[in-house]
Chain A
């Protein structure tokens, strides 16, 4: 299995995502995809990484959602390909209409870094198959515009359709997201977005290895693991 990580100008965590993917799928099996290229190089899964794509000018993720690479990623997602959006990547996927909801400024209006606990709500998506429902994952979150928001009726529908993938554990929803939601998936369950950074939780030496489960999940979907 090969994983592609989209690189925009202003991406920050693309190399971290690449290294995290390699830990899961093997060295040499992940590569960066340049934002101006439509060619996804035949990868089997795509990660849209964190950072400040195009400086987050206009609105976080808005310009990146219109990039040539994202056109191809959208087509890949419609064909059922696994796509993971992390932080800014989650914002990009929402802006691209691939995931429900939108991102607002944190309630405290500040950038906050904090190691948070994530509660796995749905363990049957392309990116959570290696986890268990109800499992708590220790993963860092770091953002200023990470308050996931959707109108109440949308939240109710997402809950009913089991499209809520992660919630912040009690006390950890510092950004004020609707219903404590930290991550969601699309109806087909192949596209997942979350605000915290699983690529920064792949080694106990740097804090936690819980995030590795997300990167291993596409392997299970593909029947490799």
Chain B
């Protein structure tokens, strides 16, 4: 079917001296319209030795955008710890990766799709999932899980937030369910500052053998550049610069054409095709096309390989007629991949892409020029030094300044929903039913958590998701390929790893978290807290952190108070990474998250992956056994100022959070993890929004067992309310036989509170007794269902 390659493969072209690209230079005003500053434009002119023509200006404006160049955050990100014993691949590639043992590697990354989702939530969220999955399989890893972190305005008051929530959840489900990658968890928060600028962050994990890891550097002068996947259209043009690198305004409906449209079926074929090409060793390198399309992926491949590229846009398959060369270069049409292939393998590569109906086309060639040359047939339409495009964007120092009036100067107090001093029982039911605490099941039951047969702990069962690694599918794929018969029994006999062998079944625990409100109150301490919370979630399933990925969602960094939030948050992230032993393996920065009502809460979202030595030994979050003792475990010093209760009472953000002892919090996390790994705990749940009493209620609801507890006020000043509803990192609610808890008290603070049993949660604290039946708690907890009716 393929024509004779000798006549059709693109070859390097001779360029006579003095030849410059055809076409007029659009000029500095056009550059400013595309998001470049006048100084940046002048620098482009200096690097080129002339004014850029249209294709060049379009490419520079994207490559030098905040989204691609990280020009306001790169200097800060350099301070983060990126080394760890399990690290396989750190920041700079499509995703990071960690060693999970036995030669298996887990690649993972979180990425945002905030502004597209704020404009068109279904497609914005769907393509957010599609994009992060491509980052994963571009490394040669099979995507094995998706998680998401969502932030919306106050869903109870806002039609817009209900619309965005519904659209984003449907979009995530549509893409992930259709492509056969399980969605294993996530978090969602509802806060006023996200009203017009919602956040949609998607995280994906992939699995591969370490020796199969594929990097993106283009190598080998004379090698052929092949584009495969969907054809190229006008969708998403300028997405990176127009949408992702500017604040949102009133006229954003006009930006809808800059949102890409996703097709999970196309991506499902692309996954299988890419993995087959890599499995057969046919590719020199591969890269997905994401933000800034062909421009970004091709120039980054050339930059990493220290080579040049000649690309002919006339060879790029189109889905519509009349595309200009610059449109082809910047289109963000989804479900496309770019690979570099030696000339003798092009036919075989194209045959495999044909098998999967993602037809490959040779569109260019690797050169030694270190220049990115774009042709339209015979006409040269762009000619730029690769380093100028990729590396020479100016980096900016930001100028942090703490707002004099504290966070209340920026963020209005939330709407009061209950009166101060509401009795404990009523406050508990209000909290359990409040949007930030209510059961997430109405969201996550719109996602498939079990496909691929690895999921040991689904959403709602434990504080973190648990996957078997490699799981039966992964092991079978490695042993003989999935197309042919394989003797798994023989392999398992050799490894002693069969399901009946009783040998440990290894896996990973995964969690994603990141409350923005605590970071708004105190960017440094709040960010440390977010990282500790992820580590605490992992501890509940016996997982030890291997690495983390982060998505820094912030406002406009050119404003001093946002610069302060960003600087302090990154400092907290670094310190927390060091404290928990989880290096940053990669991530994403999303700036300019400001709507018509001001900036979002600063929201560093943390996704953490940890090693579980045996997935048969993890603790669920729900109580399991009548008669188990219940204890508060860990170093826990709760305060009401930033609590969910304070929010319900309409209190403004406090200016700063009290410092707590991070080392003691980490010691508690480690002690719980080890107790879970020993199989001693019936249940484990970290105390988060709503404090101790809500955590008790959640364990009761999840397990279907009531509890009777007596809490001696332990918070600062012996305050009963702060003890029940205050928040801080480091605390866990666990249940186990009393003797186990007494033994645990030798390693970590343990306060036995009461006992599992009955059909109600009965709490006595500071002279007040509160009782709620399991049915009352469940009814309150199910409050989000009404937004999906």
- Partner-B contacts on A (CB < 8 A): 9-13, 15-16, 18-19, 22, 26-32, 51-52, 54-57, 110-114, 140, 142, 144, 197, 199-200, 202-203, 205-207
The residue that A113 contacts in the complex, of B170, B266, B448, with Cβ under 8 A, is B448
Chain A binder among B313-321, B450-458, B563-571? B450-458
In the complex the two chains form, is A207's CB within 8 Å of B265's CB? Answer: no
Instruction: List 18 other contacts, CB 8 Å, given A19-B476, A22-B488, A52-B265.
Output: A9-B269, A9-B272, A12-B177, A12-B178, A12-B268, A15-B476, A27-B489, A28-B485, A28-B487, A29-B485, A31-B485, A57-B265, A113-B446, A142-B448, A200-B451, A202-B453, A205-B499, A206-B456
The residue that B265 contacts in the complex, of A9, A28, A31, A114, with Cβ under 8 A, is A9
Map CB proximity to A onto B615-628 as digits: 1 under 8 Å, 0 otherwise.
11000000000000
CB closest chain-B residue, reference A51: B180
Q: Which of B264, B446, B788: most chain A CB closer than 10 A?
A: B446
Q: Return the 7 tightest CB-CB contacts between A and B, nearest first.
A: A55-B265, A12-B180, A27-B488, A28-B485, A27-B489, A52-B178, A200-B450
In the complex the two chains form, is B453's CB within 8 Å of A206's CB? Answer: yes
In the complex the two chains form, is A112's CB within 8 Å of B456's CB? Answer: no
List B contacts of A114 (CB < 8 A).
445
List B contacts of A18 (CB < 8 A).
476, 482
In the complex the two chains form, is A16's CB within 8 Å of B448's CB? Answer: no
List B contacts of A197 (CB < 8 A).
450
Q: Does chain A have a CB within 8 A of B20?
A: no
The residue that A203 contacts in the complex, of B451, B484, B488, B499, with Cβ under 8 A, is B499
List B contacts of A9 (CB < 8 A).
265, 268-269, 272, 356-357
List A contacts of B483 (CB < 8 A).
31-32
Q: Does chain A have a CB within 8 A of B51?
A: no
Subset of 14 A-B contacts with CB under 8 Å: A10-B178, A12-B177, A15-B453, A19-B453, A19-B473, A28-B486, A28-B487, A56-B265, A110-B788, A111-B174, A113-B450, A200-B453, A206-B455, A207-B450
Q: How far is the CB of B319 from chain A (nearest CB, A)?
A: 16
List B contacts of A203 (CB < 8 A).
453, 499
The residue that A10 contacts in the complex, of B173, B269, B455, B473, with Cβ under 8 A, is B269
In the complex the two chains form, is B616's CB within 8 Å of A205's CB? Answer: yes
List A contacts of B450 (CB < 8 A).
113, 140, 142, 197, 200, 206-207
Q: How far is the CB of B218 from chain A (nearest CB, A)?
A: 29
List A contacts of B487 (CB < 8 A).
27-28
- Partner-A contacts on B (CB < 8 A): 170, 173-174, 177-180, 263-266, 268-269, 272, 356-357, 444-456, 458, 468, 472-473, 476, 482-490, 499, 505, 615-616, 788
Q: How far is the CB of B444 from chain A (nearest CB, A)?
A: 8
Docked Cα-Cα span, A142 to B615, in Å, equals 24
Docked Cα-Cα span, A13 to B177, in Å, equals 11
In the complex the two chains form, is B445's CB within 8 Å of A112's CB? Answer: yes
Q: How far is the CB of A28 from chain B (nearest CB, A)?
A: 4
In the complex the two chains form, is A110's CB within 8 Å of B446's CB? Answer: yes
Number of contacts between A and B (CB, 8 Å)?
A: 115
Q: Which of B174, B269, B445, B458: most chain A CB closer than 10 A?
A: B445
List B contacts of A15 (CB < 8 A).
452-453, 473, 476, 482
Docked Cα-Cα span, A197 to B177, in Å, equals 14
Q: How far is the CB of A162 from chain B (nearest CB, A)?
A: 31
In the complex the two chains form, is B615's CB within 8 Å of A205's CB? Answer: yes
In the complex the two chains form, is A55's CB within 8 Å of B263's CB? Answer: yes
In the complex the two chains form, is A16's CB within 8 Å of B486's CB? Answer: no
The residue that B179 contacts in the complex, of A12, A56, A112, A200, with Cβ under 8 A, is A12
List A contacts of B454 (CB < 8 A).
206
CB closest chain-A residue, reference B467: A206
Q: How far is the CB of A57 from chain B (nearest CB, A)?
A: 7
Q: With A9-B356, A55-B265, A57-B265 known to touch, is A16 a contact of B482 (CB < 8 Å)?
A: no
Q: With A9-B269, A19-B473 known to touch, is A205 a contact of B505 (CB < 8 Å)?
A: yes
Docked Cα-Cα span, A111 to B173, in Å, equals 8
In the complex the two chains form, is A16's CB within 8 Å of B170's CB? Answer: no
Q: With A16-B452, A19-B473, A142-B177 known to touch, is A52 a contact of B170 (CB < 8 Å)?
A: no
Q: Which of A52, A202, A203: most chain B CB closer than 10 A?
A: A52
In the complex the two chains form, is A111's CB within 8 Å of B268's CB? Answer: no
List B contacts of A11 (CB < 8 A).
180
In the complex the two chains form, is B445's CB within 8 Å of A13's CB? Answer: no
In the complex the two chains form, is B453's CB within 8 Å of A16's CB? Answer: yes
Docked Cα-Cα span, A114 to B272, in Å, equals 28
Docked Cα-Cα span, A76 to B173, in Å, equals 35
Docked Cα-Cα span, A197 to B450, in Å, equals 10
Docked Cα-Cα span, A157 to B468, in Å, equals 45
List B contacts of A12 (CB < 8 A).
177-180, 268, 448, 451
List A contacts of B788 (CB < 8 A).
110
List A contacts of B484 (CB < 8 A).
31
CB closest chain-A residue, reference B491: A27
Q: How far is the CB of B786 from chain A (nearest CB, A)?
A: 13
CB closest chain-A residue, reference B459: A113
List A contacts of B173 (CB < 8 A).
111
The residue that B456 contacts in the complex, of A28, A29, A205, with Cβ under 8 A, is A205
List A contacts of B445 (CB < 8 A).
112-114
CB closest chain-B residue, reference A54: B265
Q: How far is the CB of A36 from chain B (nearest CB, A)?
A: 9
List A contacts of B505 (CB < 8 A).
205
List B contacts of A113 (CB < 8 A).
444-450
List A contacts of B449 (CB < 8 A).
113
List A contacts of B446 (CB < 8 A).
110-113
Q: How far is the CB of A197 from chain B (nearest CB, A)?
A: 8
